[in-house]
Chains A and B, each alone.
Chain A
Amino acid sequence: MIVDSTHTRWIILSVAILVVGLITYVPYHATTPGGPGGGTFQGLIYGFVGTAMMVFAGLLGARKRVRIWRLGRAQEWVRAHIWLGLISFPIILFHAGMSFGRGSLTSVLMWLFAIVILSGILGLVIQHVLPRMLLDRVPRETVYEQVPRVIDQLRQEADTLIESVSGVIDHPEQPAFAEASSSPGRRAHDLRTRATALAVPVEGSDELKRFYLIEVRPFFHPEGIPEGELMGAKTSSARFGRIRLLLPRDLHDTLRDLETLCEERRELALQQKLHHWLHGWLLVHIPIAYALLLLSVIHALMSLFY
């Protein structure tokens, strides 16, 4: 979510909430003997409002489970999530009388809350930067979950490419995604991609075939991020440059296509890496938020009981 002019309403609202909170908090802080705390009337009000905001922010998860319910557009929810979530932290600080928790549960709560807020802010920053990076640096992006599958298809494509100039190559392993064809349309498509021209080897293609089988083909392994010369843009282009010198002119086009496929593979590796960053922060944000909400409920119940 990029913070832009569409957020104005929410920014105004959250600043207004913060200002109201501050205006009521300053005299409250100054006049309450022994310092403000969560148990006073005003403190409880802050706690109640803050918790409501936190719970609302947490409801985003529930909202995403019922995507097609017309409960307001998801992006509005995210805007509300960002701003109310952010503003709930000072409100909870008001609730706690600006302390960071005095008891074990309360300090754990505050620390968890801080982690959630910080990871959220980090996530927001990441969402400003990484999508653009993906746009710029991974032009041949695909669906993240399908990257291994696409890599496998790239390998098949490369196999076909090499076979078209150097004859049949032995497939040391089975295709990783054999279950692919399920519908007639699919099947036709798969047949099409496998419609390979089993041609007579072009003279001088042995070198290319060897290079492909030893260096390039392992590079198209769908799992993991391979290392080696082909992984770097510069080293890869140098390697291809060297190979090009060894090949007859007829094969240069094929080599260029192979290089393009390698580039695509490299981009997909980069996409995976960026995607992990783009979504990795959620691995902190969401679990901690769950724990936070759960403990908040316990805290609220116990505090209201006693």
Chain B
Amino acid sequence: MSSPETVSLNIDGKDVTVPKGTTIYNAAKSVGIDIPVLCHLPGLEPVAVCRICAVDVGARVYAAACLRQAEPGMKVKTNTEPVVQARKTLLELLMADHPVPCEKHKELGSCELELLAEKEGVAASKNRFAPPPAPRKLDHSAANIAVNHNACILCDRCIRACTNVKQNFVIGRNGKGYVAQIGFDNDMPMGQSSCVSCGECMVSCPTGALTNVGFEAHLAGEKVDIEWLSKLPIFQGISAAFLQRNEGAVVKRPFKKGEIICREGEFGNTAFYLLEGKVDIFISSPVQRATKKDTRSFFGIVRKMANRLTQAGRDTEDPERMKYIPIDATVDLHLGNPTAQLGPGDLFGEMSALSFYPRSATVRASEDCVLLEMLRPVLQILQKNPAFKKEMDLKYKDRALANQLRSMPIFGSLTPEFIDELRNKVELVKYDPGTVIFSEGDPADALYIVRIGFVKVLKLFPGGELTLAYLHRGTYFGEMGLMGEMVRTATCTALDHVEVVRIKAVDFNLMLEKFPQVRAEFEKEIRNRQEQTKAITQIGQTSDVTMRDFLDQGLMKAQSLLLLDLERCTRCDECVRACADAHDGITRLVRDGLRFDRFLVATACRSCTDPLCMVGCPVGSIRRRNSLEIIIEDWCVGCGLCAEQCPYGNINLHPFDTREDDPDHPGMKKAQVRNKATVCDLCTEHEEPSCVYACPHDAAHRVNAQEFFTRHYVGTPKTAAR
């Protein structure tokens, strides 16, 4: 007898009773019968496009086991000769469209289609079907995901992963017949689409159609036994099914002493968990703008005079110059000696794995060690795992919090005792991308310190929103509300996977009470921020010029544009050469771009109100100083992310000569060429940018776009708005 809630059926002679609505596939699985599938993945909504799971249910046609729900009295045969034959034919057809072996299979031997074909005895060499008449495309436009449409079997797993799991709605299908393929944003190259590079599609892809760029270097380690894995303390409580599904997304990797685990600047998408042994984590010493200061020799004097003429060296020390470089690990590195050691239980590469940021530091095994390398899904589930979270929080509070607090000059005078006390009171909070941490006008209840990710600070204006800052690891926010109006003065949003340390208002006030020096520092800092905010918001309010071009070209967001008056410009290239002269022979200005009216908007940093370039810098070296200009500090690791992020092509990577530790001869240095990002710094050490200064024809101008064009078109500066 079967109740209305359950259904009884027979699969390959076995009687099965399952809840109503269960698919044949799941029903078969429950009695240990494995129906092969390709387009179906547990957790994804079944669509039954590949038909590999075809089973005989006694009807006119075979049914797709993954989709068809079990019906009472159904007699399912999964392994009869005709079914097997049909499956083989299906596989043959799919294989005809699939290069054998595909990249993934070649590297990892994990192409599901090819594995299944092997298992079913379908040899590619004996395929009866012709390959498609024209090969399909390769798409290498994305930084970390490679698309090979040839290897795609149109299983739609990626589409469902993108749409249903991640809700990004980027991937869809294009075309019909032979030209049918998956498409990003209606057939854009992936790198130009709105793809956020989350990697979900890549994880879900059964074949080598979506692969991690450079994946062959990773996850090539020892496959881990799920059982062993689930016995590890940090994996306790995580379902074996999940681990099974993500088999291959976590590997065990032993390293010998001295081996490099990852290098700064490389793109990576994995996080490492140190099981045993110790590793050194460091970044190459920041590239100094080295100038010899020998003023005694003749040439020294000449150089000194030339320096005076060029007014070089006027660059005053940045008052808020950072002492610590934030990196993607549980420690921060000191600017003077950027090296640290990690031990068992430490996790690094979280940001790379979560948000595909480039590696922020080089990690070298300081003794023989074993690491677990994991992709994002594993890391995410780990982070949700209370056991792991507890351990990580503890670790962080133990070591990193003190470190981090001390790394910030503002907390310099805190005593260790107080930090100890604070340790138990703070909480670690995680935010998913796009989450609003707090909104303008909310009551202020805590101070936040960024541990992982980027936080966008913005203010709302009648004309739209204006980004005040992007906060990276090691910075704090929320103090203005706490110390002033008791309401939030700006909205803070998590830009990606963000983890913050939350210090409650009570504790914060206690701290201020106990340490007047900290209070003074905060007050000073608040004044600075208010000034900066005022300056930026003034810019945001000055204009109501609403020209389409103006908006289209993003000029609205530009605080400082390099305009070349094309009626005057003789195209003599002096500006470019002046820029190169001012920056070690490398131009940070390209005399090409779009025109606006009679001006060429030259390709040079615009000091956007919304500086996208700052998002994602793994070492926080690209930032604003106290004023408009965006600078890239010396410790840039050359990952090129900012250059990718800048929508206007204003950041470029150039090779620089550096001296780095020689791995072959410890303690020695060797000359090496490293890429560093360069961006227009507005020649801050001078009163005027060199390009403008050197323009012989009065054609180059550095202007605030809105102010300039308002004056240009309206005729009078809009002082009333100020």
Interface residues of A (CB under 8 A from B): 1-2, 6, 60, 64, 66-71, 73-75, 77-78, 127, 130-132, 134-135, 139, 142-146, 167, 182-186, 188, 191-192, 195-200, 275, 278-279
* Pairs of residues from A and B, 3 with the lowest C-beta to C-beta distance, nearest first: A67-B578, A67-B694, A69-B309
Separation of A278 and B699 alpha carbons in the complex (Å) = 15
Contact assessment for A1 and B698 in the assembled complex, using a CB-CB cutoff below 8 Å = yes
CA distance A127 to B581 in the complex (A): 25
Q: Is the CB of B134 within 8 A of A74?
A: no
Q: Could you mark each residue 188-218 of chain B with 1 if its beta carbon is under 8 Å from any beta carbon of chain A, else 0? A: 0101100000000000000000000000000
Separation in Å of the B38 CB from the closest CB of chain A? 25
Question: B697 to chain A: which residues have CB within 8 Å?
Answer: 1-2, 75, 78, 127
**B141–A191 touching, CB < 8 Å:** yes
In Å, the complex CA distance between A135 and B598 comes to 7
Bound together, the chains give a CA A69 to CA B591 distance in angstroms of 22
A6 to B309, CA, bound (A): 25
Asked whether B570 lies within 8 Å of A70 as measured between CB atoms, the reply is no
Q: Given the complex of chains A and B, what is the CA–CA distance between A134 and B595 in angstroms?
A: 12
A132 to B582, CA, bound (A): 29
Which residues of chain B in 162-179 are interfacial with respect to chain A, using CB atoms and an 8 Å cutoff?
Answer: 178-179
Provide the residues of chain B in CB contact with A186, threshold 8 Å: 653
Residues of A within 8 A of B654 (CB): 183
Contact yes or no, A127 B134, CB < 8 A = no
Interface size class, chain B: 35 or more
* Residues of B with C-beta under 8 A to A78: 696-697
Write the nearest CB–CB distance from A54 to chain B, whole angstroms.
Answer: 18
Q: How far is the CB of B258 from chain A (nearest CB, A)?
A: 27
Residues in B whose Cβ lies below 8 Å from that of A71: 309
Alpha-carbon distance between A174 and B568 when the two chains are bound, in angstroms? 38
Residue of B nearest to A167 (CB): B134
Q: Which of B595, B598, B690, B698 is packed against the most chain A CB atoms within 10 Å?
A: B698
Q: Is B686 an interface residue (CB 8 A)?
A: yes
Contact of A68 among B138, B570, B578, B655 (CB under 8 A): B578
Q: Give B714 Cβ to nearest chain A Cβ, in Å.
A: 20
Q: Are A67 and B577 in contact (CB under 8 A)?
A: yes
**Residue pair A70, B134 in contact (C-beta under 8 Å):** no
In the complex formed, the residue of B with least CB distance to A130 is B570
Min CB distance, A37 to chain B, in Å? 37
The contact of A74 among B137, B571, B574, B644, by CB within 8 Å, is: B574
Pick the contact of A70: B191, B309, B643, B696 (CB < 8 A). Answer: B309
**Given that A78-B696, A127-B570 are contacting pairs, would A198 and B135 also be in contact in the complex, using a CB cutoff of 8 Å?**
yes
B interface residue numbers (CB < 8 A to A): 133-141, 143, 178-179, 189, 191-192, 306, 309-311, 566-574, 577-578, 581-582, 590-592, 595, 598, 638, 640, 643-644, 651-655, 675, 686, 688, 690, 693-698
**12 more A-B residue pairs beyond the given contacts A67-B577, A143-B592, with a C-beta to C-beta distance below 8 A:** A60-B696, A67-B693, A67-B694, A69-B309, A77-B696, A78-B697, A185-B652, A185-B653, A188-B143, A198-B136, A198-B137, A279-B572
Across-interface contacts of A77 in B (CB, < 8 A): 696
> With contacts A139-B595, A191-B141 known, is A69 near B306, CB below 8 A?
yes
Q: How far is the CA of A135 from the CA of B565 in the complex (A)?
A: 10
User: Could you say which residues of chain A place their CB within 8 Å of the CB of B569?
Assistant: 131
Q: How far is the CB of B195 from chain A (nearest CB, A)?
A: 13
Pick the contact of A142 from B179, B570, B592 — CB < 8 Å? B592
| 30 examples of A-B residue contacts, CB within 8 angstroms | A1-B698, A2-B568, A6-B698, A67-B577, A67-B581, A67-B582, A67-B690, A67-B694, A68-B694, A70-B310, A70-B686, A73-B693, A74-B574, A75-B696, A75-B697, A132-B567, A143-B590, A143-B592, A144-B573, A184-B640, A184-B675, A185-B643, A185-B644, A185-B651, A185-B652, A186-B653, A188-B191, A197-B137, A198-B137, A200-B134
Tell me the complex Cα distance, A139–B189, Å: 27
Measured CB to CB, the closest approach of chain A to B593, in angstroms, equals 10
B655 touches A183 (CB 8 A): yes
Q: Which residues on the B side are within 8 Å of A192 (C-beta)?
A: 140-141, 189, 191-192
B179 touches A199 (CB 8 A): yes
Q: Are B696 and A131 in contact (CB under 8 A)?
A: no
Q: Of A64, A127, A134, A279, which one neighbours B566 at CB under 8 angstroms?
A: A134
Chain B residues with Cβ below 8 Å from A68 are: 310, 578, 581-582, 686, 690, 693-694
Question: Which B residues are in CB contact (< 8 Å) with A275?
Answer: 571
Question: Contacts A2-B568, A144-B571, A192-B141 given: A183-B675 contact, CB under 8 Å?
Answer: yes
Instruction: For A278, list chain B residues within 8 Å (CB).
Output: 570-571
- Bound complex: CA A69 to CA B688 (Å): 12
- List of A residues within 8 angstroms of B179 by Cβ: 199-200
Question: In whole angstroms, how far apart are the Cα atoms of A227 and B138 in the complex?
Answer: 37
Q: Which of B134, B574, B675, B686 meets A199, CB within 8 Å?
A: B134
Residues of B within 8 A of A69 (CB): 306, 309-310
A113 to B178 CA separation, bound complex (whole angstroms) = 74
Contacts of B591 in A (CB 8 A): 143
Task: Kindly state the separation between the CA atoms of A66 and B574 in the bound complex, as whole angstroms.
Answer: 11
* In-complex Cβ contact of B570 among A64, A73, A199, A279 (8 A): A279
In the complex the two chains form, is B139's CB within 8 Å of A195's CB? yes
Q: A68-B581, A183-B655, A188-B143 are in contact. Are A1 and B568 (CB under 8 A)?
A: yes
**Assembly CA distance A195 to B506 (angstroms):** 57
Contact of A75 among B595, B643, B695 (CB under 8 A): B695
